[in-house]
């Protein structure tokens, strides 16, 4: 409390123009825990990129241990029509949603329905009807989803 009062008194003196400004102490020796500009430049890039790690199935398996609810509706996942699901393929961002919510999102036909509801990354080309929904990885498969490609190869159980 005394230190706080002292700092406040110093502030009042300084702001009124009656106090003196103390110089900070000079640090003569480098602390062993400090980092220099050279230290930062010498750090190498990680051996595995984040993108390649995100693409691994074990990442998604670990993610499901943490995820319990759909990011769209905030309801808990189940083993039936709201199983955890993600889009697969080279454009996939690996976000996980409930199957019924992801299907509703893709089928809506709204502008942006071909984008991830979380990061807005384009997941597929809009325009043609999809005959098969294996692009939904999840407990079930559905058909007739818009997207311009075989959705059955794009959705995956997370």
Distances from the Cα of 110 to the Cαs of 115, 146, 147, in angstroms?
A: 10, 11, 12
Q: What SS3 state is found at 98?
A: strand
Backbone dihedral angles phi then psi of residue 99, each to the nearest 5 degrees: -55, -50
C-alpha dihedral (92, 98, 99, 102), degrees to nearest 10: -60
CATH of the domain at 57: 3.30.40
What's the mean pLDDT in 40-51? 54
Q: Is 62 part of any domain?
A: yes
- Residue 87 belongs to domain spanning: 50-157
Tens digits of residue pLDDT in 78-122 = 877 888 877 766 566 778 888 888 888 888 878 888 888 888 888
Q: Is residue 129 very low, low, confident or very high in pLDDT (cuts 50, 70, 90)?
A: very low
Q: Is 122 part of any domain?
A: yes
Q: Is 20 part of any domain?
A: no
What's the mean pLDDT in 7-33? 66
Q: Is 9 part of any domain?
A: no
Q: Is 66 part of any domain?
A: yes
* Structural domains of the chain, count: 1
Q: Is 1 part of any domain?
A: no
Name the strand (E) or helix (H) holding 15: helix 2-16
Q: Is 32 part of any domain?
A: no
Q: Which two tokens stand for residue 133?
A: 């929904």
Q: What SS3 state is found at 42?
A: coil
Q: Is 3 part of any domain?
A: no
Spatial distance between the Cα atoms of 153 and 140, rounded to a whole number of angstroms = 13
């Amino acid at each position: 409390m005394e230190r706080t009062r002292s700092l406040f008194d110093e502030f009042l003196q300084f702001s009124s123009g009656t106090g003196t400004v103390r110089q900070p102490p000079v640090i003569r020796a480098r602390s062993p825990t400090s980092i220099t500009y050279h230290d930062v430049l010498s750090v190498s890039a990680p051996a595995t990129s984040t993108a390649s790690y995100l693409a691994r199935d074990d990442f998604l398996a670990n993610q499901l241990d943490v995820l319990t609810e759909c990011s769209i509706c905030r309801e808990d996942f189940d083993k039936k029509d709201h199983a955890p699901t993600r889009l697969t393929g080279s454009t996939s961002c690996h976000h996980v949603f409930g199957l019924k919510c992801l299907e509703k999102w893709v089928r809506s036909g709204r502008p942006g329905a071909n984008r991830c509801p979380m990061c807005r990354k384009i997941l597929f080309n809009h325009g043609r009807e999809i005959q098969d929904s294996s692009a939904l990885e999840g407990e079930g498969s559905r058909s007739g989803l818009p997207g311009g490609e075989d959705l059955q190869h794009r959705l995956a159980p997370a």
